[in-house]
Amino acid sequence: MKEELLTLEKEALDKIQETEDLKALQEVQVAYTGRKGSITEVLRGMGKLSKEERPVIGELANKVRGTIQAAIDEKKAVLEEAALEEQLQKETIDVTLPGRPTQVGGSHVLTSIIEEIEDLFIGLGYEVREGPEVETDYFNFEALNLPKGHPARDMQDTFYLTDDLLLRTHTSPVQARTMRALDGKEPVRMICPGKVYRRDNDDATHSHQFTQIEGLYVDKDVRMSDLKGTLDLFAKQLFGQNRHTRFRPSFFPFTEPSVEMDISCKVCEGHGCSVCKHSGWIEILGAGMVHPKVLEMAGYDSAVYSGFAFGMGPDRIAMLKYGIEDIRQFYTNDQRFLEQFHEA
Ligand code: FA5
């Protein structure tokens, strides 16, 4: 039994020596000093020994177990150290490597231009309102003096959802909604930006979905000169003090008289070029004095109140301001295009 123990000791020490990882070392420990290990196995045979031999073998067994355990502990410390070292090596950071650039998002160019226009009108005392994109036929047309069957409805080819529901073709229904909410009692000074939809064929200057900004000013004694002064100020602030504006007669069923405002072409300074189709002028919005019928339908007494309204297309305004040639660029999400307008 003594030989057996000494052989086990040698065998175990050799294996410990050869072991190269912690898992194998653990297996050696279980195999030799564990509860079901070889040493325990040998000690089970102690019953067959004489009284004199038992303490001697018992002591030897403890010594062998101690020696093996000490060797295991020592090896374990060495292996742990090596594992830590290897991990540290792997995780070393090379501070000389170039950094990875982080992608920073930014506002879409249309959002930026809408915010710029909002700021401008907020500065003039206007408030910003919103309205639904799924609109009723009533607010999109009837409340704006466009009864069913009116030929001017054809000016805005419409996506109908049901007989009575549609995707709004302009932001003008928010005029009617705002006035109605105020019950014909208070003055109104609001702008409303938002998406609008028309069954237009997409091309360089037309999109079936685009943005508009509506403006409405209703109070006692509002005149055409207020409209002209406000929109001229707006154009100069947005496009530069050198821009000139002109107003041409036009037609919208919800304003009377109606006008379209042009600004002098920025590219040719009004001399004529391909951008302004050689006219020297570019149209940027429709406007007019709110039709008395529209005021009355919304609950305002048209003998007391008057007002002006305007509607512009920020897509076209952004195209002019930044020299963008195709409106579809706004909606195709090409990052190379969009990134040009992010602020540094
Ligand atoms: C209107 O939509 C009127 N509601 C504007 C208005 C409001 C007039 C208040 C008077 C008082 P118009 O259909 O012209 O008007 O459209 C206004 C602007 O929307 C145009 O000047 C243009 O900039 C833009 N627009 C119209 N159709 C498209 C389209 N398919 N794609 C991109 N922009 C468009």
Cα distance between residue 204 and residue 183, in whole Å: 42
Q: What is the pLDDT of residue 229?
A: 97
Q: What is the pLDDT of residue 311?
A: 98
Q: Is 211 in the pocket of ligand 1 (CB under 6 A)?
A: no
One-letter identity of residue 134: V
Q: What are phi and psi of 259, to 5 degrees?
A: -140, 165
- What string of pLDDT tens digits covers the 344 residues of the chain? 788 888 888 988 888 988 888 888 888 888 888 888 888 887 788 788 888 888 888 888 888 888 888 889 898 988 899 889 888 888 888 889 998 888 888 999 999 999 999 999 999 999 999 999 999 999 999 999 999 988 888 888 999 999 999 999 999 999 999 999 998 889 999 999 999 999 999 998 899 999 999 999 999 999 999 999 999 999 999 999 989 999 999 999 999 999 999 999 887 888 888 778 899 998 999 999 999 999 999 999 999 999 999 999 999 999 888 888 899 999 999 999 999 988 75
Q: What is the pLDDT of residue 222?
A: 97
Measured CA to CA in angstroms, residue 34 lies from 11, 75, 305 at distances of: 15, 17, 99
Give distance in angstroms: CA of 286 to centre of ligand 1: 7
Give distance in angstroms: CA of 270 to centre of ligand 1: 23
Q: Is 206 in the pocket of ligand 1 (CB under 6 A)?
A: yes
Residue 30, both tokens: 């279980």
Measured CA to CA in angstroms, residue 30 lies from 27, 41, 46, 65 at distances of: 5, 12, 21, 12
Q: Whole-prediction pTM value?
A: 0.74
Cα 66 to the center of its chain, rounded Å? 67
* Closest ligand 1 atom number to CA of residue 172: 4
Mutate to test the pocket of ligand 1, among 158, 172, 262, 321 (most ligand atoms within 8 A of CB): 172
Q: Is 210 in the pocket of ligand 1 (CB under 6 A)?
A: yes
Q: What is the pLDDT of residue 273?
A: 83
Give distance in angstroms: CA of 211 to centre of ligand 1: 9
Q: What are phi and psi of 289, to 5 degrees?
A: -80, 130
